[in-house]
């Protein structure tokens, strides 16, 4: 291994503070005299609002302010891509999380009591919970003016977007096939369940007409821009300070939650305001994983070559767009998986319903697509008598292959290695623990495009400087939501500048003193902010050498930087970085530098084809072993083996952490998690009824890191956050099929579904 700090298992830079319980999360903020906010939500998921009466709430002692849409008619609408969401709804509620009024009171209890005094008259409309109903021409329109991308015959108020993918000639491809496989798969609505709930605090300064907001964001600068637009202020009037710790995100904190209402109420009340959601409020109001239906048709030759693939994808974005249309088309783009298919056609529909709106969640369409294509691959392998791994090896991407988006893969394609590595490590399945239980093994191989890609101006800017005391200060807005990017950035800077990681600090992240680092999403921070910091550190190192050369009068080859000192070779002379920084500052050329990573990608949305659609692809293969109780339908996951290709592991412990946590989240999606809506109403909005895996449900996850190297990230790295979870659900369902021969097409595989499938299989056997 190379000397230095990249590739080492250094401890996380924030772990010490966190085990002491010291970092302040958003909910921990407090200011003298601050008010507490509570929000009044819709009483019906789809209704015309006739009257909102807040007069009694306003009279409750301790209530300082109650507002409705009528009080703030100047607010603009918001949303990540389409601005279709009102801060406070005026005429119509579109889901149960819509806000009708905001209360500010001296304490939370008073605010909660005030909510009970608000009276609303409304006229219920048909609730649309099913996207197929939403697409029908006679379905009521959820949004009066749908922001339709293409002309189409469906309900224009409810079909938000239609996207296409065309590569080769799919009809010709199917004609070449010996066998055609058609299946329909569905994935469910899932909650992120980040442990930290949405919360924040804001103040308004009338002297400067400026706002300060403390609230977690996956992308501070984007939220800053949207909030400023909604409030009708200049971007610089709003400073967002990222809390020093964020309790998980998983895509949820890309969308706006508390970020508009807090500064708004700070100005209207003239006092600091705080808003902390309960779990129930968060689950009903904030984004979810988009539920999907995939119709897949695959043509295969008798020798196992895939000739064509057609996919029809419907995604339920819920009441608002958020990033829905991008999630849905990404799911469609990825529906061939990491397999060479010469002829591909796909169409996707993003549809509004009255369910809670959906948005980014770990995988962003790729997770859902992988469930469909990896179940499809397994079904094909089984039906054609192939070993599942061999069938995948026959078709999986290698260098020179062309993706469904038309991108020729030229570097860092470790897909084959991930399959071989995981298979070798997994070895074979064990023996059932009871006569009525059966064991099965399943695998899944996936790919994920890192970064936004598709021509989006995706970039990250970082700064690095030497401080007066000779330490290195990194300035980056990259959000560490728990995944560990802070540690990665410190490692990279330490490695380039040859200083111990504990001599590298990260500046507080706020929108005033940092530049855009892009979002902590799309598995992009290791590549984007990693590259930006690497470049900043290299530029800084250049300045250090230049200044040392001038001050010490020695040529570059005779200089080196080690552990915070400038060393002059062949002499006992050296100078500390702190001294050099002091001199440099006196000379008016401080030791500071900036780096930016701004690669170009492209796509033509007419057919989904491009030359460089994503900057890099992460591959991951997982094997799962399950034990199925044939009488109760319960599934125990016995083992998970993961072999992710991350290019280069900057911190192997961090990669393992993502892999283990991702597998656990995938296990929850596979077996137990589902946000249930009945007529638009969430039936399980707490952690007693919405179940995520406990320590007894998740087996030890064994991760063997594959390093194909040579990716575009720093030191050849790629990202791991999202691809860590993507193979898990299909691997588990494939293992269930291996164990008991039932073919499940829908998530989650609850005991109830498994048992029903087992009974159906028994009945079939009896009839034959």
Partner 1 sequence: MPKYPIELKINGDKYSFEVEADLRLVDLLRNHLQLLGTKEACGKGECGACTVLMDGKSVASCLVLALQANGSEIITVEGLGGEAALHPLQQAFIQYGAVQCGFCTPGMLMSAKFLLDNNPRPSREEIRAGLAGNLCRCTGYTKIIDAIEAVVEGRLER
Partner 2 sequence: MTTYFAPSTLSEAVAYIHENQTAKIIAGGTDLLVKRYEELDSMTGFMDISHLAELKNIKTGEEVQIGAMVTHGEIAGHPWLLQHVPLLCQGAAAVGGPQIRNRGTLGGNLANASPAADLAPPLIVLGAVAELAGPQHQVPLEEFFSGPGKTIMQPNQIITGVKFTKPAANQGWAYLKLGKRKAMAIATASVAVLVAVEDGQLTDLRICLGSVAPVPSRAKKTEELLRGQRLDSLELAAAQAQLQAEISPIDDIRGSAEYRRQAAGPLFRRALLQAIKNAGVEPDA
Q: Least CB distance from residue 697 to partner 2, whole Å? A: 5
CB-wise, 13 or 27, nearer to partner 2? 27
Could you say whether residue 653 binds partner 1 (CB under 8 A)?
yes
CB-wise, 83 or 279, nearer to partner 1? 279
Q: Least CB distance from residue 197 to partner 2, whole Å? A: 12
d(CA 166, CA 46): 37
- The item of partner 2, partner 1, none sharing an interface with residue 665, based on CB under 5 to 8 Å by kind, is partner 1
Q: Within positions 697 to 756, which residues make up the interface with partner 1, using CB under 8 A?
A: 698, 700-701
- The item of partner 2, partner 1, none sharing an interface with residue 631, based on CB under 5 to 8 Å by kind, is partner 2
Q: Environment class of residue 576 by beta-carbon count within 10 Å: exposed (0-12), middle (13-18) or buried (19+)?
A: middle
Task: Among 759, 760, 762, 763, indicate the residue that binds partner 2 (CB under 8 A).
Answer: 759
Nearest-CA neighbor of 420 among 643, 271, 230? Answer: 643
Q: Within positions 85 to 114, which residues make up the interface with partner 2, using CB under 8 A?
A: 109, 112-113
Q: Least CB distance from residue 632 to partner 2, whole Å? A: 5
- Which string of DSSP letters, residue by residue, matches 320-379? S-TTHHHHHHHHHHTTT-SB--SEEEEEEEEEE-SSPPEE--TTTTHHHHHHHHHHHHHH
Task: Among 676, 700, 760, 763, indicate the residue that binds partner 2 (CB under 8 A).
Answer: 676
- The item of partner 1, partner 2, none sharing an interface with residue 660, based on CB under 5 to 8 Å by kind, is partner 1
Q: Least CB distance from residue 34 to partner 2, whole Å? A: 21
Q: Least CB distance from residue 636 to partner 2, whole Å? A: 8
Contact predicate 379/181, CB 8 Å: yes
DSSP 82: S
Task: Among 16, 50, 90, 763, indicate the residue that binds partner 1 (CB under 8 A).
Answer: 16
Could you say whether residue 502 binds partner 1 (CB under 8 A)?
no
Query: What is the greatest pairwise CA distance in the chain?
Result: 92
Q: Which residue has the tokens 């680092």?
A: 517
d(CA 311, CA 329): 11
CB-wise, 633 or 721, nearer to partner 1? 721
Task: Among 6, 27, 624, 726, indicate the residue that binds partner 1 (CB under 8 A).
Answer: 27
- The item of partner 2, partner 1, none sharing an interface with residue 661, based on CB under 5 to 8 Å by kind, is partner 1
Q: Within positions 620 to 649, which residues make up the interface with partner 2, using CB under 8 A?
A: 631-634, 636
Could you say whether residue 683 binds partner 1 (CB under 8 A)?
no
Non-local CB neighbours of 228 within 8 Å, separated by 6+ positions:
234, 235, 237, 238
Q: Determine the straight-line distance between the first and last CA of the chain, rounded to whole angstroms.
A: 61
Give 504's strand partners. 472
Could you say whether residue 688 binds partner 2 (CB under 8 A)?
yes
Could you say whether residue 34 binds partner 1 (CB under 8 A)?
no
- Which string of DSSP letters, residue by residue, matches 506-531? E---BTTTS-----S-TT-HHHHHHH
d(CA 162, CA 166): 14
Task: Among 697, 704, 741, 743, indicate the residue that binds partner 2 (CB under 8 A).
Answer: 697
Could you say whether residue 693 binds partner 2 (CB under 8 A)?
yes
Could you say whether residue 15 binds partner 2 (CB under 8 A)?
no
- The item of partner 2, partner 1, none sharing an interface with residue 760, based on CB under 5 to 8 Å by kind, is none
Could you say whether residue 696 binds partner 1 (CB under 8 A)?
yes
Could you say whether residue 22 binds partner 1 (CB under 8 A)?
yes
What is the chain's percent helix, strand, coil content, to nearest 5?
30, 25, 45
Q: Environment class of residue 404 by beta-carbon count within 10 Å: exposed (0-12), middle (13-18) or buried (19+)?
A: buried
Non-local CB neighbours of 508 within 8 Å, separated by 6+ positions:
241, 242, 244
Could you say whether residue 665 binds partner 1 (CB under 8 A)?
yes
Could you say whether residue 661 binds partner 1 (CB under 8 A)?
yes
DSSP 110: H
Could you say whether residue 25 binds partner 1 (CB under 8 A)?
yes
- Which string of DSSP letters, residue by residue, matches 523-577? T-HHHHHHHHHHHHHHHHHHHHHHHHHHHH---GGGEEEETTEEEETTSS-EEEH
547: phi then psi, degrees, rounded to nearest 5 = -70, -40
Helices (H), 239-315: 261-269, 279-285
Give 309's strand partners. 298, 344
CA 289 to chain centroid, in Å, comes to 10
d(CA 460, CA 475): 11
Q: Environment class of residue 72 by beta-carbon count within 10 Å: exposed (0-12), middle (13-18) or buried (19+)?
A: middle
Could you say whether residue 664 binds partner 1 (CB under 8 A)?
yes
- The item of partner 1, partner 2, none sharing an interface with residue 721, based on CB under 5 to 8 Å by kind, is none
- The item of partner 1, partner 2, none sharing an interface with residue 481, based on CB under 5 to 8 Å by kind, is partner 1
Q: Do β-strands 504-506 and 472-475 pair in parallel, antiparallel, or remain unpaired?
A: parallel
Q: Within positions 290 to 349, which residues make up the interface with partner 1, using CB under 8 A?
A: none
Task: Among 2, 15, 171, 587, indicate the residue that binds partner 1 (CB under 8 A).
Answer: 15
- The item of partner 2, partner 1, none sharing an interface with residue 22, based on CB under 5 to 8 Å by kind, is partner 1
Q: Within positions 423 to 452, which residues make up the interface with partner 2, using CB under 8 A?
A: 436
d(CA 118, CA 40): 8
Could you say whether residue 198 binds partner 1 (CB under 8 A)?
no
Q: Within positions 96 to 125, which residues make up the interface with partner 1, using CB under 8 A?
A: none
Task: Among 208, 572, 694, 767, indicate the residue that binds partner 2 (CB under 8 A).
Answer: 694
CA 596 to chain centroid, in Å, comes to 23
- The item of partner 2, partner 1, none sharing an interface with residue 701, based on CB under 5 to 8 Å by kind, is partner 1
Interacting residues toward partner 2 by CB under 8 A: 109, 112-113, 278, 280, 436, 631-634, 636, 672, 676, 683-684, 688-689, 691, 693-697, 750-752, 755-756, 759
Q: Which residues bind partner 1 (CB under 8 A)?
A: 9, 11-12, 14-16, 18-25, 27-28, 30, 192-197, 245-248, 250, 278-279, 481-484, 653-654, 656-657, 660-665, 686-688, 692, 694-696, 698, 700-701
């Amino acid at each position: 291994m190379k000397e230095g700090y990249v590739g080492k298992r250094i401890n996380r830079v924030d772990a010490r503070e966190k085990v002491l319980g010291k970092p302040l999360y958003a909910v921990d903020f407090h200011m003298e005299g601050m008010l507490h906010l509570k929000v009044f939500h819709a009483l019906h998921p789809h209704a015309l609002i006739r009257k909102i009466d807040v007069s009694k709430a306003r009279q409750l002692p301790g209530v300082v302010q109650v507002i409705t849409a009528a009080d703030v008619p100047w607010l603009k609408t918001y949303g990540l891509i389409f601005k279709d969401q009102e801060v406070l709804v005026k005429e119509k509620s579109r889901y149960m999380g819509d806000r009708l009024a905001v209360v500010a009171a001296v304490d939370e209890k008073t605010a909660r009591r005030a909510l009970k005094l608000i009276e609303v008259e409304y006229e219920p409309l048909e609730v649309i919970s099913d996207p197929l109903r939403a697409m029908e021409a006679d379905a009521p329109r959820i949004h009066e003016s749908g922001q339709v991308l293409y002309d189409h015959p469906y309900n224009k108020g409810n079909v938000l977007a239609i996207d296409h993918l065309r590569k080769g000639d799919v009809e010709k491809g199917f004609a070449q096939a010996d066998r055609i496989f058609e299946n329909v798969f569905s994935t469910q609505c899932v909650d992120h369940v980040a442990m930290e709930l949405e919360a924040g605090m804001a103040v308004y300064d009338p002297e400067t007409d400026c706002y300060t907001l403390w609230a977690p964001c996956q992308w501070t600068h984007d939220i800053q821009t949207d909030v400023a637009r909604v409030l009708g202020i200049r971007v610089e009037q709003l400073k967002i300070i990222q809390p020093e710790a964020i309790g998980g995100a998983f895509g949820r904190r890309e969308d706006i939650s508390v970020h508009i209402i807090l500064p708004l109420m700070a100005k209207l009340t003239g006092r600091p305001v705080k808003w902390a959601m309960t779990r129930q409020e968060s689950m009903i109001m904030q984004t979810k994983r988009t539920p999907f239906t995939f119709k897949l048709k695959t043509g295969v030759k008798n020798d196992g070559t895939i000739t064509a693939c057609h996919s029809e994808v419907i995604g339920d974005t819920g009441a608002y767009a958020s990033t829905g249309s991008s999630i849905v088309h990404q799911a469609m783009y990825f529906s061939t998986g990491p397999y060479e298919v010469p002829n591909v056609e796909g169409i996707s529909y993003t549809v509004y319903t009255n369910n809670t709106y959906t948005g980014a969640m770990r995988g962003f369409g790729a997770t859902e697509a992988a469930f469909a294509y990896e179940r499809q691959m397994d079904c094909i392998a089984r039906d054609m008598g192939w070993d599942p791994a061999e069938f995948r090896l026959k078709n999986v991407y290698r260098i020179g292959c062309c993706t469904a988006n038309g991108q020729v893969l030229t570097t860092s394609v470790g897909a084959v290695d991930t399959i071989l590595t995981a298979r070798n490590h997994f070895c074979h399945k064990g023996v059932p623990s009871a006569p009525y239980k059966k064991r099965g093994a399943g695998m899944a191989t996936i790919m994920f495009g890192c970064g936004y890609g598709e021509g989006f101006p995706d970039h990250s800017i970082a700064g690095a400087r030497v401080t007066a005391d000779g330490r290195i200060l990194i300035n980056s807005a990259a959000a560490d939501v728990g995944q560990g990017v802070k540690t990665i950035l410190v490692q990279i800077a330490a490695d380039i500048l040859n200083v111990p990681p504990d001599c590298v600090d990260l500046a507080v992240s706020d929108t005033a003193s940092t530049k855009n680092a892009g979002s902590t999403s799309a598995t992009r921070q290791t590549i984007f902010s990693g590259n930006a910091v690497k470049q900043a550190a290299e530029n800084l190192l250049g300045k250090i050498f230049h200044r040392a050369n001038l001050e010490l009068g020695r040529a570059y080859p005779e200089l080196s930087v080690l552990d915070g000192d400038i060393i002059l070779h062949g002499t006992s002379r050296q100078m500390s970085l702190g001294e050099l920084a002091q001199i440099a500052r006196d000379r008016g050329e401080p030791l500071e530098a900036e780096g930016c990573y701004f690669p170009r990608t492209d796509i033509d949305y007419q057919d989904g084809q491009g030359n460089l659609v994503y900057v890099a692809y992460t591959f991951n293969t997982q094997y799962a072993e399950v034990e199925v109780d044939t009488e109760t339908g319960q599934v125990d996951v016995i083992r998970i083996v993961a072999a992710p290709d991350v290019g280069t592991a900057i911190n192997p412990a961090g990669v393992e952490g993502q892999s283990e946590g991702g597998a656990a989240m995938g296990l929850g999606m596979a077996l137990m998690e589902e946000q249930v809506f009945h007529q638009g109403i969430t039936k399980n909005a707490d952690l007693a009824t919405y179940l995520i895996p406990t320590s007894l449900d998740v087996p030890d996850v064994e991760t063997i890191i594959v390093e194909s190297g040579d990716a575009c990230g720093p030191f050849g790295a790629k990202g791991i956050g999202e691809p860590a979870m993507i193979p898990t659900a299909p691997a588990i369902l494939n293992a269930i099929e291996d164990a008991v021969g039932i073919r499940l097409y829908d998530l989650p595989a609850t005991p109830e579904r498994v048992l029903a499938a087992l009974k159906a299989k028994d009945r079939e056997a009896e009839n034959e």
